[in-house]
Amino acid sequence: MAKIEVPQAEGLYDPVHIKKLEKLQDLNISYNTPLPQIVVIGGQSAGKSSVLESLSGFPFPRAPQCGTRYITEVIYRKHDKDSVVASIEPDCNSTFGRRASLGAFKANLSPTTRDGMTIPDIFQSTSVAMGVCLEVDEARGSTSLYSKDVLQVEVTGPKEEYLKIIDCPGTPSEPVQGFVLVVVPCAADVEDDPDVLRLEKADPDRRRSIVVLTKPDLAMESASGKEVVDPVEIILKVIGPKYFVVRNRGENEATSDLARRNYVEHAFFNEDPWNQVHNQLYQPLFGTRSLRLQVQELLMERTEQYFIEVGKELKARLKHKKNGLEFLGETRVNTDRQRTYLGRVAIRFSDIFNRALGPQCAGQLNFSVDLQLRLAAQVQEMSKAFASILFSRGHSYYSEGEEAYQDHEYPEIQDLLSEAFYCSRPHGSGIMDDIRQIYSDYCGGALGVFKNTILPPLFRNQTRKWTKLTLAHVSNVILVIHDFVYSALRRSCPDTHVLQALWEFHKQGFLDCYRRTIKHAELLLHVKCEGDVVVTNNLEFERLLAEYRMERRREAAKPSRGASRHGMGNREEIHHAYYEIARARFVDNIHQQVVTHFLLRGEQSVLQVFTPEWVLSMTSEELRSIAEEHPDNVRGRQELQQEIDNLEKALDAIRA
C-alpha cells in the first residue's frame, strides 16, 4: 500500500483574527462581548471527549468512569507564560457553605503534565468535590450521576488560541449559545436522535452547527459493514456537508500524537467498506481534518460578526471617553485657562437652569436620570398644591403635589426654613359666630349700621393660618431650588474639587437670596393679613357681591328668616366677596413675586449668583483658590487620554 500523506492540523482561528485579538490584549482593552465559543453536546459515551481532543488538543477524559458528568468549560488565551488552572463555579442554587467550599477549589497543572497523565486526576477530584458518583455502588444505592456545577479550565500560553469550548453532559434542557457540535455514534438512529431533532429546529440552515458521527470502527464490530455504511451514505447524500464522520482514538492509541492519529484515521476510511463512500464526492466529509476545516470556516464567520460587535462597543466607549475629556477641559496651568474653565462651567450651569425653566426643557434634559432637574414642573405643581389647599381649607402640609425634600442634606439653610404645617379643616359652624362677636364689639350691637372697621379684624381671624401655610410652602420651594442648584452645578462641573470650592464660595450668595425671598413673603403676609384697612379696586368684587346678595334675597324669602339673619348676612356677603378676591390676589403675588421674581428670574435670584460675568470679574487669587487643578485631576486626564489612544488603536486594528 502506498504511503498516505496526512496534512497536519492547523489552528482553528484565522491568523488575521489572531493578530487582532493579540492587539486588543496588548492594548489592555477589555470588552463585554463574549469570545466565540464551541458548545459540544451529545449523549453519554457518544465520543465527545475524543472529538474535543482532536479539535483543541486538550486531553479530555475518555475512560467510562471519567465521562462527562457536569459542564466543562475550557478557555484558551494567549499569554507569555504557559499555565493550566482548574476551578469550579458552583451551582447558583447551592447552599452558602457548598458554594464557599467549591469556590475554594483550585488545581494548577504544570505545562509538562499536559499529556493527559494528570488530567484524569483533576476530573476525579472535581467529581468528588461536586459529590458526583462515578460508579454506582449497589450497596449504597443510587446517588447523583450529574451535577449542575461547572468545571472551568483556563489554558494559557504563547501558542494558544483565543477560544472557549464547552462540553455539556447529555441533552441540555435550555437552548445553547454559540457554535454547536452535536456528537452522535454511527450505530445510533441518527435521524431520530433528540439532539439532532432539536438542532434542526434551532438552526435549520446549519449556519452555526455541525453533526459529527463517531465510532465507525466500533459500529463495525457489532454489525456488518454494509449495515453501517448504507445509512451513513444515505445521510451524506440527503444532507451533504452538514454531517461529518470521524474515527475516535482507540484505547491502544493513548500515547500517539495528533499526526499519528490523523494517519490511522485516514487509512481507516480508505479501507473496505468505507472506501465505497470515501471518494472524491464525499471525501471532504470524512476525518478530523475535514471537520476542523469546516469548524474553521464557521468559526471565521462567527468571529467576523464578533469583531463587528466589539467594534460597536469600543466606538461607544471611545465616544464616552472623548466626551469626558472634553468635559474636563484643558489643563489649568495659569489664570487664563482657569478663567476659561470656570467660564464654561458657568455657561453650562446657566444653560441647564434656563432650559429647566423654559417650556422646551422636556426635550433637552434626561429627566428619567435626574428628576430633580424638572424645576419648572416641580415649582408649578407645588404652587398649584399651595393654591388648592389655601382655597379649600386655609392651611397646608406637604401634600401629594409637593415633594418633601430632606433639609438635613443642606444644613446651611436649616435656620432659614419654616417647619411643615398641618392643621384641621375649617370649623363646621361657619363664620357667622365671628361676625356676631366682632359686630357686637365694634358696632355696639346696632344691626342696621355697617362700618368698614369690621372687615379688618374679621379678615385677620379668617386668615390666621396663612402665615404658617405660606412660609411652609416657600420653604419647600427653597429646598427644591437649592437641591436643583447643586444638581445643576454638579452636572456642569466634572471636577469635584472645583465643585466643592464653587459651592462653598457661592453658598452665602444663595442664602442671601433665600433671606430676601422669605422677607418679602413676610411683607406680603403682613400687608394682607395684619393691616387695618381693607380696600380693593377689583371690579370682580361688585359682581361677586351682587351674586351673593341675590342669593341672600332668595333665602330671605323663605319662611323662618328674621331681620337679625338679614343684617348679619349682608356682612357675610361683603366679607365673602372680599375674601375671594384677596385670596386669589395673594396666591398670585406669592407665585409671581416671591417664587418667580425673588427666587428664579429676578436680578437678585439664585440664577444670578454664579454667572459668566462673575467669572470675568474674578481676581487671580480667587481663580487659583477655586480652579487650580488638583493632582488627582491631572492624573485622571492623563489616564483618560491613554484610554482614548488605546481605543483608537484597537479600532484601527479591528478595521485592518
Q: Does residue 419 fall inside a structural domain?
A: yes
- Least-confidence region, from 15-24, 423-432, 463-472: 423-432
Is residue 401 pLDDT above 50, yes or no?
Answer: no
> In percent, how much of the chain has pLDDT > 90?
13
Which pLDDT value is given to residue 6?
33
Quote the domain boundaries for residue 573.
335-628
Is residue 454 pLDDT above 90, yes or no?
Answer: no
Is residue 478 pLDDT above 80, yes or no?
Answer: yes
Band the pLDDT of 255: cuts 50, 70, 90: low
Q: Does residue 471 fall inside a structural domain?
A: yes
Which pLDDT value is given to residue 268?
82
* Whole-number Å distance between alpha carbons of 578 and 103: 79
Is residue 239 pLDDT above 80, yes or no?
Answer: no
- Least-confidence region, from 233-247, 258-272, 344-358, 439-453: 439-453
Higher-confidence residue: 294 or 365? Answer: 294
Altogether, the residues listed in the chain come to a count of: 656
Is residue 508 pLDDT above 50, yes or no?
Answer: yes
Question: Across the chain, what does the average pLDDT equal?
Answer: 74
DSSP-based three-state secondary structure for 380: helix
Which pLDDT value is given to residue 513?
94
Is residue 125 pLDDT above 80, yes or no?
Answer: no
Higher-confidence residue: 384 or 257? Answer: 384
Of 304-313, 431-440, 549-558, 630-639, which one has max mean pLDDT?
Answer: 304-313
Query: Tens digits of per-residue pLDDT, 177-199?
Result: 678 888 888 877 777 888 888 88
Which pLDDT value is given to residue 135?
53
Band the pLDDT of 11: cuts 50, 70, 90: low
The mean pLDDT of 345-368, rounded to a whole number, is 70
Higher-confidence residue: 68 or 362? Answer: 68
Measuring CA to CA, how many Å separate 162 from each of 24, 36, 176, 339, 538? 12, 9, 20, 50, 84
Higher-confidence residue: 389 or 132? Answer: 389
Q: Identify which of 525, 520, 529 has the alpha carbon closest to the alpha carbon of residue 579.
A: 529
Which pLDDT value is given to residue 33?
65
Cβ proximity of 459 and 575 under 8 Å: yes
Q: Does residue 428 fall inside a structural domain?
A: yes
Which pLDDT value is given to residue 389?
81
Q: Identify which of 242, 168, 169, 161 has the alpha carbon closest to the alpha carbon of residue 208.
A: 242
The number of angstroms, rounded, from the C-alpha of 590 to the middle of its chain's C-alpha atoms is: 41
Q: What is the 3-state secondary structure (H, E, C) of 424-438?
A: CCCCCCCCHHHHHHH
pTM over 0.75, yes/no: no
Higher-confidence residue: 56 or 420? Answer: 56
Which pLDDT value is given to residue 435?
44
Which pLDDT value is given to residue 5?
37
* Whole-number Å distance between alpha carbons of 616 and 612: 6
Is residue 425 pLDDT above 70, yes or no?
Answer: no
Of 115-129, 257-271, 360-374, 511-525, which one has max mean pLDDT?
Answer: 511-525
* Whole-number Å distance between alpha carbons of 435 and 458: 7
Cβ proximity of 236 and 279 under 8 Å: no
Which pLDDT value is given to residue 147?
75
Alpha carbons within 13 angstroms on the beta-carbon side of residue 6 total 23
* Whole-number Å distance between alpha carbons of 415 and 223: 96
The mean pLDDT of 209-218, rounded to a whole number, is 82
Which pLDDT value is given to residue 52?
82
Cell numbers for 628, please give them. Answer: 487650580
Higher-confidence residue: 431 or 28? Answer: 28
The mean pLDDT of 501-511, rounded to a whole number, is 92
Is residue 442 pLDDT above 70, yes or no?
Answer: no
Measuring CA to CA, how many Å separate 429 from each of 330, 425, 432, 433, 561? 71, 12, 8, 8, 18
Is residue 46 pLDDT above 50, yes or no?
Answer: yes
The mean pLDDT of 492-506, rounded to a whole number, is 90
Band the pLDDT of 365: cuts 50, 70, 90: very low
Alpha carbons within 13 angstroms on the beta-carbon side of residue 269 total 29
* Whole-number Å distance between alpha carbons of 20 and 203: 29
Of 90-99, 165-174, 177-186, 583-592, which one has max mean pLDDT?
Answer: 583-592
Q: How many structural domains compose the chain?
A: 1
Is residue 595 pLDDT above 90, yes or no?
Answer: yes
Q: Does residue 76 fall inside a structural domain?
A: no
Which pLDDT value is given to residue 505?
92
Band the pLDDT of 379: cuts 50, 70, 90: confident
Higher-confidence residue: 352 or 43? Answer: 352
Is residue 222 pLDDT above 70, yes or no?
Answer: no
* Whole-number Å distance between alpha carbons of 273 and 269: 8
Q: Does residue 389 fall inside a structural domain?
A: yes
The mean pLDDT of 212-223, rounded to a whole number, is 71
Fill in the DSSP letter of residue 170.
Answer: B
Q: Does residue 417 fall inside a structural domain?
A: yes
Phi, psi of 550 (to 5 degrees): -60, -40
* Whole-number Å distance between alpha carbons of 656 and 652: 6
* Whole-number Å distance between alpha carbons of 244 and 246: 7
* Whole-number Å distance between alpha carbons of 146 and 168: 11
Q: Does residue 352 fall inside a structural domain?
A: yes
Query: Tens digits of per-residue pLDDT, 86-115?
Result: 888 888 888 888 888 888 888 877 655 554
The mean pLDDT of 539-560, rounded to a whole number, is 65
Of 29-43, 287-301, 495-509, 534-548, which one has max mean pLDDT?
Answer: 495-509
Higher-confidence residue: 456 or 620? Answer: 620
Higher-confidence residue: 378 or 545? Answer: 378
* 273 prior amide bond cis, ω within 30: yes
The mean pLDDT of 72-99, rounded to a whole number, is 83
Q: Does residue 614 fall inside a structural domain?
A: yes
Cell numbers for 600, please give them. Answer: 428664579
Is residue 651 pLDDT above 80, yes or no?
Answer: yes
Which pLDDT value is given to residue 516?
95
Residue 14, exposed/middle/buried by CB under 10 A (0-12, 13-18, 19+)? middle
